[in-house]
Structure 1
Amino acid sequence: MDSFAPQAIPATAASEVFQLMRDGQARTKAEIAELTSSARSTVSARLDLLLSAGLLVPVGEAASTGGRPPVRFALNAASYVVLAVDLGASHAAVAVVDLGGEVLGEVSVASDITEGPQIVLDRVADLARRLLADLDLTPDAVVGIGVGVPGPVEHSTGRPANPPIMPGWHDFDIPGALGRTFPVPVRVDNDVNVMALGEHTTRWPETGDLLYVKVATGIGSGIISNRLLVRGALGTAGDLGHVQVSGQGDDVACRCGNLGCLEAVAAGPAIAKRLIAEGLSIESPQDVVRAVERGEVEAVRAVRDAGRAIGSVLATCVSLLNPSVVVVGGSMSATGEYLLAGIREVVYQRSLPLATHQLRIVSSPLHGREALVGAAVMVLDEVLSPRSVDALIERRTRASA
């Protein structure tokens, strides 16, 4: 009898063993039995199911204590892949990521989100197919897709909800559109949420409470509390870009329809608009970054003032959420310490001393990759969950019967 043939035991038992093995550490059958308090024969049957599904793989032998050396097993990270997608206002990025979270390949192109969902998502599907082909992978290797978009999302359905900079995307079925090309689970979230996941996973895995703030064309935040992403009742938690900044820009119209929003006062386009009014040759937020890098005083002052405005809102967030770390990312974080100095100045002045006693306010060094990493983490948590592993094992069992 083939030792890898599936046995007639509940798939849920095998998926529990798989959750233990997700950490990537190689273990022998005896070690798994000890950790799960199961009999060796029971562990053998569960391992056979996981091996037949391609989720685990033998990785050599452990040191012998007498007799034949025991075989060690580990996560087969190369067995399947997920697609991570980062959609911004002016770009689309796609990465292929293995089950261990390693990025195997990625591509980013200019893409205008205002072209509408069908054009943009067709572009994403085409990029994904080409990237898979370059890696000698077939679409059948894909088991899930994670997508970050620059607007509010109803996470349970994956549909954008009145996104200000995404005309034509409201209530569009993103999972359904991508599912026509890749019939796998598709998870969609606001780009700042997936950035927060990526930042937390990559740089701050031991930190329980983190606030990620994106400062770019818009301003938003992702909240990690007790190591979990907080989305709120409908997925809009962290949308601080549309908090009114007291005493600043009260007459400045925001694209959401209100006046004096933080985004309208301190986001990249707002800083550029101020500098244009002061006579500088500025056409875009990227020009603001370059002006700061050149040391132009007006640009430095405008960025620091924007930091103070952001800090005035973050001071309330810090007192309310008490994070250990505030990470500032997005394109405007490239202005470096000038933006951070303005934020720190106000946060440390206005927040409670206990809340800021050990608080760190830092910039992200990931330069946009946090969104791809976070999108991958989001969908890996779904496709490697006990429920999904059970379903995969059952499909493989039926196919081999």
Structure 2
Amino acid sequence: MLNSDDAPDTQASVRRANLRRALQLVFRGGGAQTRAGIARATGLTAATASSLVAELIESRLIVEGVQAASTGGKRATTLSVDAGHHRILVMVIRPTDARLALLALDGTEVDVRTVAYTAVSRERMLDEAVARIAEDHGDRLLIAAAQLPGTTDGRTVLESVQLDWREEPLAARLEKQLVVPVLLVNDVDAEAIAEAAGEAESSGYRLFIHIGVGIGAAVTVDGQLAPGPRDRAGEIGHVQVEFGEHARLCRCGRRGCLESASSMTAMLGDDFSDAMDEDDIAALARTADGTVFAEGARALARTVKLAAALLDPTEVVIGGPVRALGEPFLDLVRAETAYLASGTASVPVRYARGGANPSIGAGQLALSSALGVVWSAEQLSSANADLR
């Protein structure tokens, strides 16, 4: 892998760093990058740039394309990402089902499989599905990422209320079958990464809040995740925000948690699931009591106001299935946060853009871990277009 830890001041570490720089330029180049362009952008000699390109081609990371337009001399050959060999496996694990997608290096999905299960059969069904992936694609797998609700240190599921997992060594278990590195990522963190990755330029401090069956948050700084030192940043779903007779019983056993008022289950009932599409969610919302949306918006607004006062973000972005409730619900939240508390600044609140590819957040994290590069917004736009 290009992104392995480098010892300082060694020729090998300098070589790996230059390979990452060259590869990132090809990722950003949209199929128009050349050896001469890499040399100019990095300040390396033409011979060194050509040597880097040769190694990246041999590693099946980039390929040569058509000849670039002439600038008066010999026409250069363009370079693009090799989407035909390496694969990144992204597993989106939810309480009742999982989505397993194989991504090419350009971000496009080349194979998608789903598996449904119960709490009793979950581990067995997941293991069987992963075994089939390993059998079909094992020789081309580069890395894998598992996205799930709950806290994780990247290797172990520390706690997941939705999956009823605690201290679950999931990464090690999956690595035995896949024989490639596996990393774990919280689903809200992955969604926040995907939101930032889809922007041409992602700058500033952002608070991202996901609302579905559960509620969680993440903070990104200039598009990069800002995790806490104990891997529990953003676990806001079971913080008490309602008190007294209005405090509802939460599935965690306590009363007044944010999820008990503002989760999609709290507002739409037990018929809701994270696997529902937007049309089905909107239909379910039409049958719901309107007062639950007001209560949910009020509890959410309290949390947003406190978090925004503490963090001073440039914006608050709300993502997840809640987007299917449309502008009326968002207007309720905005109305509840409209007052300006002394000493604070007004913070805009909007829905996440969303996207057609639910694998991009965890896929981006896996790509960075393996190769030290990121997809461009143009690449992701093209990958999403292939799904529509």
Q: TM-score range by the shorter chain?
A: 0.7 to 0.9
- SS of the residue corresponding to residue 221 of structure 1 reads strand
Contact 1:209-1:325 at 8 Å conserved across structures = yes
Match of 2:159 in 1: 162
Identify the range of structure 1 (250-259 vs 233-242) with the bigger mean alpha-carbon deviation. Answer: 250-259
How is 1:68-217 mapped onto 2 (pairs within 5 angstroms)?
Answer: 68-112=74-118, 114-115=119-120, 118-126=123-131, 128=133, 138-155=137-154, 158-167=155-164, 169-202=165-198, 205-217=201-213
CA shift, 1:343, in A, is: 1.5
Distance in 2 between residues matched to 1:283 and 1:38, nearest whole Å: 60
CA shift, 1:92, in A, is: 0.6
Match of 1:344 in 2: 334
CA distance 1:164–1:291, shift in 2 (3 Å) = closer
How is 1:144-293 mapped onto 2 (pairs within 5 angstroms)?
Answer: 144-155=143-154, 158-167=155-164, 169-202=165-198, 205-247=201-243, 251-272=247-268, 283-284=271-272, 289-293=282-286
Matched, 1:312 2:299: no
Match of 2:27 in 1: 22
Match of 2:370 in 1: 383
Distance in 2 between residues matched to 1:159 and 1:376, nearest whole Å: 18
CA distance 1:15–1:312, shift in 2 (3 Å) = closer
CA distance 1:118–1:365, shift in 2 (3 Å) = closer
Amino acid at match of 1:319: A
Among 351, 362, 376, the alignment partner of 2:351 is 362
CA shift, 1:14, in A, is: 3.1
Amino acid at match of 1:51: I
Amino acid at match of 1:143: L
Identify the range of structure 1 (336-345 vs 284-293) with the bigger mean alpha-carbon deviation. Answer: 284-293
- SS of the residue corresponding to residue 184 of structure 2 reads strand
Amino acid at match of 1:18: L
CA distance 1:69–1:150, shift in 2 (3 Å) = same
CA shift, 1:334, in A, is: 1.9
Match of 1:373 in 2: 360
Deviation per residue, 1:98-136 (Å, 9 max, x gap) = 112222332334334x33663243144156358xx5xxx
CA shift, 1:342, in A, is: 2.4
- SS of the residue corresponding to residue 59 of structure 1 reads strand
CA shift, 1:204, in A, is: 7.3
Unaligned runs of 5+ in 1: 1-8, 274-281, 387-401
CA distance 1:48–1:289, shift in 2 (3 Å) = closer
Among 35, 40, 52, the alignment partner of 1:34 is 40
CA shift, 1:378, in A, is: 1.0
CA shift, 1:161, in A, is: 1.1
CA shift, 1:67, in A, is: 4.9
CA distance 1:47–1:366, shift in 2 (3 Å) = closer
Distance in 2 between residues matched to 1:46 and 1:204, nearest whole Å: 27
CA shift, 1:202, in A, is: 2.4
CA shift, 1:315, in A, is: 1.0
Among 334, 337, 342, the alignment partner of 2:324 is 334
Match of 1:392 in 2: none
Amino acid at match of 1:147: A
Q: Which protein shows a greater Rg? A: 1
Amino acid at match of 1:300: G
Deviation per residue, 1:250-303 (Å, 9 max, x gap) = 653434444321112222333356xxxxxxxx744678753423xx4x522212
Identify the range of structure 1 (202-211 vs 305-314) with the bigger mean alpha-carbon deviation. Answer: 202-211
Match of 1:44 in 2: 50
Match of 1:54 in 2: 60
Distance in 2 between residues matched to 1:33 and 1:291, nearest whole Å: 57
Deviation per residue, 1:157-216 (Å, 9 max, x gap) = x2111322222x322221222212211121101111111111221257534333222222
CA shift, 1:66, in A, is: 4.6
CA shift, 1:352, in A, is: 6.3
Percentage identity across aligned positions? 24
CA shift, 1:143, in A, is: 0.2
Contact 2:131-2:177 at 8 Å conserved across structures = no
CA shift, 1:44, in A, is: 2.1
Match of 1:276 in 2: none
CA distance 1:56–1:321, shift in 2 (3 Å) = same
Amino acid at match of 1:69: R
CA distance 1:55–1:348, shift in 2 (3 Å) = same
CA distance 1:38–1:330, shift in 2 (3 Å) = closer
CA distance 1:233–1:245, shift in 2 (3 Å) = same
CA shift, 1:346, in A, is: 1.5
CA shift, 1:326, in A, is: 2.6
Contact 1:209-1:224 at 8 Å conserved across structures = yes
Distance in 2 between residues matched to 1:232 and 1:154, nearest whole Å: 10
Identify the range of structure 1 (218-227 vs 186-195) with the bigger mean alpha-carbon deviation. Answer: 218-227
Amino acid at match of 1:185: P
